[in-house]
Each structure stands twice: as C-alpha cells, then as structure tokens.
Amino acid sequence: MSRSNLGRVNKFKKFTQGSAENSATSSIPTTKNSLSKTFPKKANQKLREKSTKYSGLYTEVLKDGDLSFIGRFKIQGKNKRVSLGRRSEGMTLESAYVLRLQMMEKARQKISMEEDSAIEAPTLSDVFEEYLEAKKLHNGRPMNSEERTLSIFKANFKSIKTKQIHQINEKDIRKIRYELLSKGRSIKTVYNYLSLIRTIIFFNNKRNRVLSQQINWSEIIPKPSELPQTTERLTDDEMNSLILALDEESPQVKNLFLVARNTGMRKSELFKLKWGHVKWENGHIHIPQPKSRRANEKLTMTSGMKIILKNQMDVVKNSEFPDKELGYVFYTPNGLCWKEKSRSIQIVYQRLRDKTGITNFRMMHGLRHHFGSTHAAKGTPLPTLQRLLRHGSTSMTMRYITILDSENIEAAEKIEKVFDSQRHEAS
C-alpha cells in the first residue's frame, strides 16, 4: 500500500474511533433522574458494594461513614442478599465471612426439612386416627364418645383435615371458629369443637417428629370459667305438665323418662342399660360404660324405681320388639334399641315440647339438672349430691344446681328463726 493510501486509512480510523467515543459519551445519562432510569435500584445497590477477598462477601460505605458487610448467595436458584452487620458493631471481615457460611447452611437445612416434611408429615386426619387408636389401646376399648367425635370431625373440619399438620396455622383455626359462630353454634359448642383440634395437635406434638405451628389458643378458645353456666330446672307446674304428656306416650318411652328423672342418669347410660346391669337382690344398678370411667360405678334403686323397672320388664316381656333378644331395658317406640344419635328421640323431644309448651329445656339431660337442683333444694349435702350425680368434683355439681327465688326466701327465713330461738334461749 502506498504512503498516501496508508495515510487515508489512518485518518478514517481516527474519525470512526472519535465518532464512537462521542456516541458513547452522549448516551451516558447526566442527570439523577436519567441515571436512576438507566440503572435500576438493585443495580445501583450492587455498584455501591465492593468485593472482598472472600467469595460472596461485600462491603458498602454508608452515609454516616460506617462500613456495612453484605453477604450474597444462591439457594434453589434464587439470589439472597443478607446484611451481616456493621464495623461500628464490632463486625470484621472474617466474622462476616463465617456468619455468611452459617446463614447459608441454615437456609439449606430449612429447605431440606421442608422437603422432608412435605413427604413425611401426617395430615390432621392421620393424627386423628392415631389419637383414636391410642385411646382405644389405653382404655382397652374405644372411647364412649368415639362415634360422636368422628361425626364432629368429619362435619366441621373439612377445610383442614387433609392439610399436613405443620401447614395448619392460627388463621385456619380462627376461620373455623368464625364459621361455627356464623352457623349459630353456641360458645360452649365452639369451645368443645376447637378443643378437639387442640387435643389432636397436642397429641401430634408429643408423638411425631413434625411439629405444628405456634398457635395462641388462649385467644381463640374461651376459658371454661368464661363459658355460660347451664342451669335447668322445671317448676312444679311444668313437671306436672311433662308427666301428663308422658302419659300419652308409649309405656317404654314414659318409663325411660321417669327413670331419668328419678336417678339423674345420662341419656347414653340409659340407652346402654341392660337387664344384666340391674341387680335386684342388692338393690343396685350398675352403670354401663360410665363417663367417669370408674369401675363398678353404681346407684341405689329406691322402691319407686323398682316399681318402674318391673313395669318396664313386663312391657318388654309381653312385646314383639325386633331387638328384644338383645337384652336392653329401654327401646324406641318401634321396639328397636336406642342409638346415641337416634332420630327417634328427637321426635319424642319435639312432641313433648309441643304438648307442654316447655321449649328452653333439654328433655333428657335437663332432667339430670332437675334431679340435682331438687336434691339441693331439699337439703341434700353437696358431697352426697356429687356422689349421686357421679361427678368428678363438687364444682361440676354446682353447675347443675338451680335455686328458685322462693327457696332463697325460705332459707333466709329459716336461719332467721334459728337466730330468734337462740336469742330467746339466751334471755
């Protein structure tokens, strides 16, 4: 190439290089706003960080002149940026490096545990089945309330029963509480249902490796002392009205309610009562599968009770009840054995309410309350009444007692007469 041509080429190179430099210079933003548009905040943040001799460890000079140590690492394809501390707080480059490694390991362990939990963690239904089985092994038989408990679980916990135990949080429990109250459930029912969930979760935490989340139960479930006290007692007129209504029922239904009134036995105990539990020679009735689980629980038969039971025995002997051979004492109007959730008893309840006009009264369990209140009004000592009702504590017995205003006045006048007699004797 001639010297003249070589000179032209050099001039062209200088011209093109200058144009490129001018173009690059003109594209660099010169204002703060244009700078922020060109470089996003994260990019600016990264530009302010200076690398160190340790991989993944950076430093950043803050506005006050302090030095901040920043750690960066990647977990499951996601970039993590963590603040490790400041120089003014005593953090050094070496300490920050060690802390970054510890945080990386902790993050990896957490992910590993979550992956294991996703595979191994039981659902609420799984734990519930384990709970029922454990109760069965411990007691030597299923719980008395197993059928009812299963029904409650299936009907009310659909939103969480398939969730793994560690996935259930406080929000889930509060949602169930809201749904129960929205359906018109009483606060006592809400207490019983949510207490069942709490029992299942506590059972899981004692037996399984995968623990549940922390839940503030005290704010969700009311304390027993905050529950409304259930007190039921019929007046003399109401009791007479009930007896007249029972006279129109079949003999086996009437006898069922009379035994409930005279003994205070629970509905479940009456439904399970067989003739083998009635000890005529000893004058006792052995309670089948008592709620207290105490062995050999029994109550004394009065002369009136014996008359009612002998009448019921004649009714059964002379009947053609389909379930007669099962040996139960009481049967439905159709001659079948009673079930805990029997529709037949609800029909009887409603019929009695319609005939008597007594609405705010549980026709069977209310008679147990009436039994306790009547005893208390007639002066039966509390410890004796506790044994008659077969309660675990006198505080529970107190919940069954309702004292009428007339009885309060009578008691006040009675003690006044005692004081008057003492004064006359002293004078």
The predicted-structure confidence for 320-334, as pLDDT tens digits, reads as follows 999 989 999 999 888
Cβ(342)–Cβ(332) below 8 Å: yes
- For residue 7, name the pLDDT band (cuts at 50, 70, 90): low
Q: Check residue 365 and give its pLDDT.
A: 85
The predicted-structure confidence for 49-88, as pLDDT tens digits, reads as follows 888 889 889 999 998 999 999 999 988 888 889 999 999 9
β-pair type (298-300, 284-286): antiparallel
Q: Check residue 187 and give its pLDDT.
A: 83
**Selection from 27-36, 112-121, 228-237, 248-257 with the highest mean pLDDT:** 248-257
Tokens of 344: 């037949």
- CATH for 236-410 is 1.10.443.10
pLDDT value at 8 more than 60: no
Q: Rounded mean pLDDT of the chain?
A: 81
Please state the length of the chain.
Answer: 427
pLDDT value at 262 more than 60: yes
Q: Check residue 177 and give its pLDDT.
A: 93
- CATH for 44-120 is 3.30.160
Backbone angles phi, psi at 255, to 5 degrees: -65, -35
Share of the chain above pLDDT 70, in %: 78
Q: Check residue 425 and give its pLDDT.
A: 66
Which CATH architecture is the domain 124-226 placed in?
Orthogonal Bundle (1.10)
Q: Check residue 221 and give its pLDDT.
A: 85
- For residue 292, name the pLDDT band (cuts at 50, 70, 90): low
Strand partners, 85: 69
Q: Check residue 280 and give its pLDDT.
A: 92
Quick one: average pLDDT of 217-229? 75
DSSP 182-198: HTT--HHHHHHHHHHHH
For the ranges 191-195, 229-233, 340-344, which has the lowest average pLDDT?
229-233
- For residue 28, name the pLDDT band (cuts at 50, 70, 90): very low
- For residue 9, name the pLDDT band (cuts at 50, 70, 90): very low
Q: Which helix (H) or strand (E) holds 26?
A: helix 3-27
Residue type, 176: I
- For residue 129, name the pLDDT band (cuts at 50, 70, 90): very high
Share of the chain above pLDDT 90, in %: 34
Q: Check residue 209 and give its pLDDT.
A: 67
The predicted-structure confidence for 150-181, as pLDDT tens digits, reads as follows 999 999 999 999 999 889 999 999 999 999 99
402: which DSSP letter?
-
pLDDT value at 344 more than 60: yes
pLDDT value at 127 more than 90: yes
Cβ(397)–Cβ(381) below 8 Å: no
